[in-house]
Amino acid sequence: MKRRRVLAASGIGALAAVAGLPLARAVGSKLKVVVAGAHPDDPESIAGGTMALFADQGHEVVALYLTRGEAGISGKTHAEAAAIRTAEALAACAVLKARARFAGQVDGATEVSPGRYQELRALLDEERPSLVITHWPVDTHRDHRAVSLLVYDAWLASGKRFALLYTEAMTGAQTQGFTPTHYVDISAIEPRKRQACFAHASQDPAEFYAHHERMHSFRGLEAGCALAEAFARHPQDVSPHALPERPLTRPA
């Protein structure tokens, strides 16, 4: 447990819930947090609790969707599925108090190319985030891998200006070899995360959320709380406003 830390009071992202620190007081300034996922439902399922905690403390939260889930509904055309899943994403973002943004790629046909690198760089340059959370790059889903690589490239191109954290999606079935460095206690906020995920009615949320419930419980055991989301901070992240991390403690 000594090497497990909670991402606490920092100008690059105050995920201080486990330490029991109020986010706004810990940070002292407004942050912009971008959670980049491959499809509608990815940002919500990988970090919905953390997104809600940031938003409740007055920070700006953006759910960045690489695609609109065009290939994600059997029997629907790409256009029909995209319309349904875009509406679901907007409903989920309303629950989490987040703003949706779509990067313009197509579900199942995502690309990692010079042109796509430039598109994501330009998007994140425009957003100027304090912190970006995205998929762990070792993942069985190629769209998850794509967004992770595109974000990483944008981080390098920015001069590592924002903090970069990775997180997990359906670990074991999708994310592989993920080792957290930080945890966020989502015990109190989990019902809102559930509501946001269940807004994606076209995706059989009861099935996919059950996997995440098991992950929440397991990460909570590691973190010493009931339910947690887990993150791995990039080891070369030297964001200039970071404060020292606090040892993991139970909430007061």
> Mind giving me the DSSP string for 198-230?
HT-GGG-HHHHHHHHHHHHHHHHHHHTSSSEEE
The pLDDT-based confidence of 28 (bands split at 50, 70, 90) is: low
**CATH, residue 169:** 3.40.50.10320
Residue 114 covered by a domain: yes
Residue 239 has pLDDT above 80, yes or no: no
Nearest to 82 by CA among 104, 115, 113, 111: 104
**Which amino acid makes up residue 82?**
A
Q: How do 5-6 and 246-247 pair as beta strands?
A: antiparallel
The pLDDT-based confidence of 21 (bands split at 50, 70, 90) is: very low
Tokens (6 digits) for 134: 């995205």
Question: pLDDT per residue over 219-235, tens digit each?
Answer: 999 999 999 999 999 98
Q: What are phi and psi of 135, to 5 degrees?
A: -65, 140
Residue 252 covered by a domain: no
Residue 231 covered by a domain: yes
- CA 89/CA 225 separation, integer angstroms: 29
- CA 35/CA 186 separation, integer angstroms: 16
Show Cβ contacts of residue 16 under 8 Å, excluding neighbours closer than 6 positions: 6, 7, 8, 9, 22, 23, 26, 246
- Tell whether the torsion through CA atoms of 113, 117, 118 and 123 is positive or negative: positive
- CA 215/CA 140 separation, integer angstroms: 17
What's the pLDDT score for residue 241? Answer: 41
Q: How do 228-233 and 163-167 pair as beta strands?
A: antiparallel
- Tell whether the torsion through CA atoms of 34, 36, 41 and 42 is positive or negative: negative
The fraction of the chain above a pLDDT of 70, given in percent, is: 84
Residue 66 covered by a domain: yes
**Residue 115's domain spans which residues?**
5-247
Nearest to 137 by CA among 111, 169, 109, 107: 169
Query: How far, in whole angstroms, is CA 129 from its chain's centroid?
Result: 13
Show Cβ contacts of residue 126 under 8 Å, excluding neighbours closer than 6 positions: none
Residue 30 has pLDDT above 90, yes or no: no
- CA 166/CA 147 separation, integer angstroms: 11
User: What are residue 61's DSSP bridge partners?
Assistant: 33
Question: pLDDT per residue over 164-204, tens digit each?
Answer: 999 999 999 999 999 999 999 999 999 999 999 999 999 99
Question: pLDDT per residue over 159-173, tens digit each?
Answer: 999 999 999 999 999
Structural domains in the chain (count): 1
What's the pLDDT score for residue 62? Answer: 98
Residue 32 has pLDDT above 60, yes or no: yes
Contact indicator for 171, 215 with CB cutoff of 8 Å? yes
- CA 32/CA 13 separation, integer angstroms: 9
Question: pLDDT per residue over 117-129, tens digit each?
Answer: 999 999 999 999 9
